[in-house]
Amino acid sequence: MSTNKHSHAQWGSRLGFILAAVGSAVGLGNIWRFPYMVGQNGGGAFVFTYLICIAVIGFPILIAELMVGRRGQSNPITAMARVAEQNNRSTAWASVGFMGVLAAFLILSFYSVIGGWSINYIAKVGMGEFTGISADAVGNVFTGMLGDAKELLKWHTVFMLFTIVIVAFGVTSGLERASKLLMPLLGVCLVAMVGYGMFSSGFSAALDYLFSPRFGDINAEVILSALGHAFFTLSLGMGVMISYGSYLGREINLLRTASIVVVMDTGIALLAGLAIFPIVFANQLDPSQGPGLIFITLPVAFGKMGGGVIIGVIFFALLTFAALTSAMSLLEPVVELLEEKTPLNRAFSTIVSGAVTWILGIAALLSFNEWSSFKILGFNIFDFLDTLTGKFMLPLAGLGVIIFVGWFVHRKIIREELHISGTSELVWHIVARFVAPIGVIIVFASQILDLLGYKLADLLAYFG
């Protein structure tokens, strides 16, 4: 990044921006969360819904966030307020940015716990803990880790410390350079594992499971999970992409850049699915077992394959790296906000926000053991944070941004920002004003009906 005359830093190049945005988007969401969401929501039914959510809701909202950032040239809250002012609208729109920053803080707390599992697994695989043992025994290693609060705390702390150091010292440019090499390597590693899966007995079952949706399985819960995951995986609804957009130069084509981010992110998630499900089916594991899925299936494969120890160590190291580049983008908006609104400098802002996140993370990790019976609205703390952010806060904040950009930003600005006119402009307006917001609203409405005990399909059948 170099500083330009407007005193706001800019990405040195389009590649630099893409690396950072892909670094934020690609992380535990793609490799840990996507497969277990697929498993819990009926396989292909989820994949199908998720792909639609990415294309018609995630992609336009990504463009809208980047646009607000580039126009507003500031953190998410100030950027929303500025763009609102430029369009003679109320600065109350800034509250959308505020909710995003709050969500980022909540997400980082449990994200760091999972990042800790990933670091822990570098060591476990490296020491050959999984070599030659049965799938059941691999499952027991995972359950053993979950039951041990001290162990979880140790690795959560290590992950959080890494994140704090990276953000406090602003070594982000070094990370960006590293990601030029490591992100493609993660892709290669996944492709190799898909290759391994192709020769296993579970491959055709996995293909069928992922890509032959049973449409009858699509219900309100599946749709809301898919929508929430689309936001999570593209880092939307948290102001992260607004912050990143503010560093984006005028000359950069937003539509093209956003498409690259979406394609890479979705590609990595699908590869992860193709790598994991053959192992699930070849070893008769349970696809719907939840957050432990990759930490049980992958070590089973690493324990069996030749060179599995080395490949396993490389894999979990790359996963940890991908998680760190995402975590740093989650902490950044919180730090920026503290820096701006309090007398604290950057280092202290990072330490304070990192420490508060770390404490909340402890509550999340205790929900796997000591506090497992403590429930909020029927959820343990971990699931509560995940559900509150993923299913409610992110979609709501994203809805706010797209309604704002679709309905309250002058057409002239949109034309300038997106370089569109004629038909493409019409398509944008239809998507930004109707398709994306109505999509989010329908998902919410059906969820609320669901909570009240009605099924949307039943109601439609009743009226139809």
Identify the residue among 225, 329, 349, 446 touching ligand PHE (CB under 6 A): 329
Cα separation of 331 and 104, whole Å? Answer: 7
Q: What is the DSSP letter of 455?
A: -
**Cβ-closest position to ligand PHE:** 29
330 lines the binding site for ligand PHE (CB under 6 A): yes
Sole residue written with tokens 């330490």:
351
Upper half-sphere CA count for residue 82 (Cβ side, 13 Å): 15
Chain positions 358 to 417 lying near ligand PHE, rule: CB under 6 A, are: none
Length of the chain: 464
The nearer residue to ligand PHE, 27 or 292, going by C-beta atoms, is 27
User: Is residue 334 close enough to count as binding ligand PHE by CB under 6 A?
Assistant: no
Give least dist CB 8 to ligand PHE, A. Answer: 21
Closest CB to ligand PHE among 282 and 294? 294
C-alpha 247, offset from chain centre: 21
Which amino acid is it at 260? I
CA torsion sign for 437, 440, 443, 449 is negative
Q: Which range of residues in 246-254, 282-290, 325-333, 363-371 is near ligand PHE by CB under 6 A?
A: 325-333
Which residues, in sequence order, are CB contacts of 123 under 8 Å at separation 6+? none
**Helices 456-463 and 436-451: crossing angle, nearest 10°?**
100
Alpha-carbon radius of gyration of the chain: 22
CA distances to 184, 191, 268, 271, 456 from 274, rounded to whole Å, are: 17, 9, 10, 5, 32
- Contact between 437 and ligand PHE by CB under 6 A: the answer reads no
Instruction: Provide the token pair at 424.
Output: 């493409």
Rounded least distance, CB 397 to ligand PHE, Å: 11
Binding of ligand PHE by 238 (CB under 6 A): yes
* Binding piece for ligand PHE, criterion CB under 6 A, among 19-27, 82-90, 203-211, 421-429: 19-27
Binding segment (CB under 6 A) for ligand PHE, from list 14-22, 196-204, 323-331, 426-434? 323-331
Q: Pick the closer one to ligand PHE by CB: 20 or 122.
A: 20
Q: Is 27 in the site for ligand PHE (CB under 6 A)?
A: yes
Report how far residue 323's alpha carbon sits from residue 31's, in angstroms, rounded to the nearest whole number: 10
Place of tokens 């102001």: 239
Closest Cα to residue 291, out of 112, 42, 106, 35? 35
Instruction: Please report whether residue 25 would count as binding ligand PHE according to CB under 6 A.
Output: yes
- Residue 29 within binding range of ligand PHE, rule CB under 6 A: yes
Cα separation, 62 vs 259, in Å, equals 9
The smaller minimum CB distance to ligand PHE, of residues 238 and 242, is found at: 238
Nearest distance in Å: CB 262, ligand PHE: 12
Shortest distance, CB of residue 105 to ligand PHE, whole angstroms? 11
Site string for ligand PHE, 97-136 (x = CB under 6 A): ----------x-----------------------------
| 220 alpha-carbon distance from chain centroid | 21
Q: Rule CB under 6 A: is residue 64 a binding residue for ligand PHE?
A: no
Query: Is residue 307 left, alpha or beta, with left meaning phi > 0 and alpha meaning psi from -120 to 50?
Result: left
Taking the complex as a whole, the smallest distance from the CB of residue 327 to ligand PHE amounts, in Å, to 7
Q: Could you tell me how many residues of this chain bind ligand PHE (CB under 6 A)?
A: 15
Q: Which of 11, 59, 159, 232 binds ligand PHE (CB under 6 A)?
A: 232
Contact range with ligand PHE by CB under 6 A, out of 25-33, 282-290, 344-352, 372-380: 25-33
Nearer to ligand PHE, 16 or 303 (CB): 16
Q: Count CB neighbours of 383 within 10 A.
A: 18
Interface with ligand PHE by CB under 6 A: which residues?
24-25, 27-30, 107, 232-233, 235, 238, 240, 326, 329-330
